Structure 1
Amino acid sequence: MIPKYRKQFNQEFSQEKYTQFKKILKEKSDLEPVFRISESPIFLTKEFESKLIDASDSIIKQIKALSAETLQKAIPDNCRVPNDTNQPHFFTIDFGICKNKNGEIEPQLIELQAFPSLYAFQKVFEDTFCEVYPFISEIRNKMPNEEFKNYLKDIIVGKENPENVILLEIYPEKQKTAIDFKLTERLLGIKTVCLTKIKKEGKKLFYENNGKLTEIKRIYNRVIFDELDRIPDLKTEFDFREDVDVTWVTHPNWFFKISKFLLPLLQHQFVPKSYFLHEFPKTENLEDFVLKPLFSFAGSGVNLNPTKEITDAIEDKENYILQRKVTYEPIFEDINGEFSKAEIRLLYIWRENDDYPILLENLGRMTKAAMVNVDFNKKDAIWIGSSNAFFGEE
């Protein structure tokens, strides 16, 4: 995409530098990343960045124009949490990097979420690419690290003492994103707490902090509802659906409101046409679409090649969508002359009194397989896994 940067990176790349890169990440977090780290960043043009921002702006405006009643329909009755908020604190949008009929590289919306992604990790990730390959610094994110930290602190900690703010997860030490939890703790001075460790007294929540029972006033929530459903005999003192004296960051209802549920409602040249399964028109060809459950995470349940037999067998058709297929274009050349595909996630925050979200960072994911998931790649594949995008002039 930017030949001069791709050429220089491939010339400078070595296995020793890749090992050094991962070593620095471990030193900064005291944790080994358990997800695969791509050897390479993603280099994209400023023109492509403009297309991303244009599509995102349109999507955000369309969401803001939806009624509260429409968004409320997205929340399953058994997952509804009290004390909803007017807007989410976090907002992320995923785009595939594709080629249109005219041969132009363009983004295509894959999905969107009002759920925090790897905000702390991606900033460190970006910094580390620039440390190991200094020439990249000239096209790095212009936001200073201190400004980035202040934005995250403002949104997560707010005006509370950090000891009264927790990052909430279920069995956090077992999560693939544990490295982001650790970096968030170091950045903001908060603690990561397992849902099973939360204590409840009346409407107040507590956790044990250095041997002292400490009140929780803000929860940076990283728990996924449908993940809880898959844990047998889960015992907790606190149920999400209870009315408690805490501020949710982001409120759990927004996980459902900003989700695949919205895809059939959005229109833009970079938004593939989507339908709810029960509204899929007979004039469309099923083979042109991907089947996705509304309520799933990290690509689980996605069927790239749905058949009529599969869709007919689904009873709760209103909980599935069909999204027109897009083709990721393999344009990121590795040192062996092979090419990877990629998608990019834009990481926004949305402050409570702001009319519009603020773009903080991005997250890239690279693959050589049909799905953007390293499990589907050959074991010896390179230029696959988690990455970071840099935008510059051609």
Structure 2
Amino acid sequence: MIPKYRKQFNQEFTYEKYDQFKQILKQKSGLEPAFRISESPIFLTKEFEGKLIDACESIIDQIKSLPPETLDKSIPENCKVPNDTKQPHFLTIDFGICKNEKGEIEPQLIELQAFPSLYAFQQVYEDTFCELYPFLNEIRNKMPYEELRNYLKEVIVGDEDPENVILLEIFPERQKTGIDFALTERLLGIKTVCLTKVKKQGNKLYYENDGKLIEIKRIYNRVIFDELDRIPDLTTEFDFRDDIDIKWITHPNWFFKVSKFLLPLLQHQFIPKSYFLHEFPENENLENFVLKPLFSFAGSGVNLNPTKEVTDAIEDKENYILQRKVTYEPILEDINGEFSKAEIRLLYIWKENDERPVLLENLGRMTKAAMVNVDFNKKDAIWIGGSNAFFGEE
């Protein structure tokens, strides 16, 4: 959407630079990226960025105005964790780059989560683009690296010794986001610990390091709690629902409270109309909607073309939504003259005593497939996968 930057990037791009890009990421993290890295960043106008931020500010206002009891309804009974907090530490908001009925390019909300994303990785990712393509420095994220690090350190580590803070995941070595875990460790000096390795004594938790038991005082939680039930023969010493003496960053209840559950409750020009499945009105046409389970992750369970037979067969209709379809516009031109579509995720962090969260950075996801998820792309496609958005003047 900014022709001069797109033209310059495409002229400077080579596959050798792309290989170098991935090698630099490996050198900085110690790991190969386990998800596809796009060859290209996303270039968007400052005007488009303004629309994204306007929508996000409205969403934040609406979340803050909702009664706690409304948000609490989102949490399944078997997933309620004690010692909830008044607000989450993280907020990520996803928008598709779409075309409206007037032919104008605009953002449309796809989903939102109060759950951490690739906060450590994206800064390094943007830095690496700027190293290989120096002209990008003039439109990079204006927040200095040290300021971003201080935000993350204050929220995740707080006043504790980093030794007593862990990044918690289930089988972290299997997760595609492992490169972010590695960069978080380097950034904050904390350890990544598998849920199965956490030990419980009374109401306190510990992990083992160099043969010593270390007390855990804060958990940077990366576990999707409701997915644990799908892991066969999972054995752990503590249950999320235990009343334990630790600080959650962020509290697991917020994964449910800020989720697709909110979509039918939000209103804005850039928010497509959504309904809970059991409240879908008769005067709406099912063909105009996408069916989504409330608590799926990474696009699983989404039905782009639901039928009445499909929706009628669903028993727990309150756990599904229908969201009005939007038209992703392929505007990101690759070196072959073909075009990709994209989503932009804005990454916010929310200090405990602050009235509002702060926008730290963004991430992009590019695709040539029907769904913006790298698993749905053809293997030989380019300009697809994880990316980063740069905003500048036309």
Q: Is this a same-fold pair by TM over 0.5?
A: yes
Q: Which whole-Å CA distance do the structure 2 matches of 1:54 and 1:91 have between them?
A: 15
Letter in 1 for 2:385: G
Structure 2 counterpart SS, 1:154:
helix
Q: Which whole-Å CA distance do the structure 2 matches of 1:292 and 1:25 have between them?
A: 34
Asked whether 1:121 is paired with 2:126, we answer: no
Letter in 1 for 2:207: Y
Aligned to 2:296: 296
Tell me by how many angstroms 1:374 deviates.
Answer: 2.0
Q: Which whole-Å CA distance do the structure 2 matches of 1:178 and 1:294 have between them?
A: 25
Aligned to 1:248: 248
Aligned to 1:42: 42
Deviates more, 1:358-367 or 1:94-103: 94-103
8 Å CA contact 2:112, 2:258 repeated in 1? yes
8 Å CA contact 2:92, 2:346 repeated in 1? yes
8 Å CA contact 1:293, 1:302 repeated in 2? yes
Aligned to 2:143: 143
Q: Which whole-Å CA distance do the structure 2 matches of 1:176 and 1:218 have between them?
A: 23
8 Å CA contact 1:206, 1:215 repeated in 2? yes
8 Å CA contact 2:93, 2:345 repeated in 1? yes
Aligned to 2:70: 70
The aligned runs of 1:11-22 (5 Å cut-off) are 11-22=11-22
Asked whether 1:80 is paired with 2:80, we answer: yes
Q: Which whole-Å CA distance do the structure 1 matches of 2:377 and 2:299 have between them?
A: 15
Q: Which whole-Å CA distance do the structure 2 matches of 1:391 and 1:244 have between them?
A: 44
Q: Which whole-Å CA distance do the structure 2 matches of 1:277 and 1:125 have between them?
A: 39
Letter in 1 for 2:146: E
Q: Which whole-Å CA distance do the structure 2 matches of 1:373 and 1:142 have between them?
A: 28
Structure 1 counterpart SS, 2:234:
coil
Structure 1: segments with no counterpart, 5+ residues: none
Q: Which whole-Å CA distance do the structure 2 matches of 1:38 and 1:211 have between them?
A: 41
Tell me by how many angstroms 1:378 deviates.
Answer: 1.8
Structure 2-normalised TM-score? 1.00
Q: Which whole-Å CA distance do the structure 2 matches of 1:45 and 1:101 have between them?
A: 20
The aligned runs of 1:265-280 (5 Å cut-off) are 265-280=265-280
The aligned runs of 1:1-394 (5 Å cut-off) are 1-394=1-394
Moved >3 Å (runs of 4+): none
Deviations 1:26-49 (A, max 9, x none): 000010001000000000000000
Deviates more, 1:188-197 or 1:209-218: 209-218
Structure 1 counterpart SS, 2:305:
coil
8 Å CA contact 2:198, 2:206 repeated in 1? yes
Structure 2 counterpart SS, 1:192:
strand
Structure 1 counterpart SS, 2:362:
strand
Tell me by how many angstroms 1:297 deviates.
Answer: 0.8
Tell me by how many angstroms 1:295 deviates.
Answer: 1.3
Tell me by how many angstroms 1:225 deviates.
Answer: 1.6
Q: Which whole-Å CA distance do the structure 2 matches of 1:375 and 1:180 have between them?
A: 19
Letter in 1 for 2:370: A
Deviations 1:173-201 (A, max 9, x none): 00000000000000000000000000101
Structure 2 counterpart SS, 1:275:
strand
Letter in 2 for 1:213: L
Deviations 1:312-334 (A, max 9, x none): 00000000000000011000000
Deviations 1:46-77 (A, max 9, x none): 00000000000001100100000000000000
Structure 1-normalised TM-score? 1.00
8 Å CA contact 1:31, 1:179 repeated in 2? yes
Tell me by how many angstroms 1:226 deviates.
Answer: 2.6
8 Å CA contact 2:344, 2:389 repeated in 1? yes
Q: Which whole-Å CA distance do the structure 1 matches of 2:73 and 2:3 have between them?
A: 46
Q: Which whole-Å CA distance do the structure 1 matches of 2:339 and 2:306 have between them?
A: 27
Q: Which whole-Å CA distance do the structure 1 matches of 2:145 and 2:28 have between them?
A: 15
Q: Which whole-Å CA distance do the structure 2 matches of 1:210 and 1:46 have between them?
A: 50
Q: Which whole-Å CA distance do the structure 2 matches of 1:328 and 1:226 have between them?
A: 30
Q: Which whole-Å CA distance do the structure 2 matches of 1:379 and 1:152 have between them?
A: 35
Structure 2 counterpart SS, 1:185:
helix
Letter in 1 for 2:293: P
Structure 2 counterpart SS, 1:243:
coil
Tell me by how many angstroms 1:373 deviates.
Answer: 1.5
8 Å CA contact 1:81, 1:241 repeated in 2? yes
Q: Which whole-Å CA distance do the structure 2 matches of 1:352 and 1:177 have between them?
A: 26
Structure 2: segments with no counterpart, 5+ residues: none
8 Å CA contact 2:79, 2:226 repeated in 1? no
Tell me by how many angstroms 1:296 deviates.
Answer: 1.0
Tell me by how many angstroms 1:375 deviates.
Answer: 2.3
Q: Which whole-Å CA distance do the structure 2 matches of 1:69 and 1:378 have between them?
A: 44
Aligned-residue sequence identity (percent) comes to 84
Tell me by how many angstroms 1:389 deviates.
Answer: 0.2
Q: Which whole-Å CA distance do the structure 2 matches of 1:289 and 1:222 have between them?
A: 31
Structure 2 counterpart SS, 1:159:
coil
Deviations 1:129-149 (A, max 9, x none): 000100001000000001110
Tell me by how many angstroms 1:104 deviates.
Answer: 1.4
Tell me by how many angstroms 1:79 deviates.
Answer: 0.2
Deviations 1:113-165 (A, max 9, x none): 00000000000000000001000010000000011100000010000000000
Structure 1 counterpart SS, 2:355:
coil
Structure 2 counterpart SS, 1:208:
strand
Q: Which whole-Å CA distance do the structure 2 matches of 1:65 and 1:141 have between them?
A: 30
Letter in 2 for 1:352: E
8 Å CA contact 1:226, 1:296 repeated in 2? no
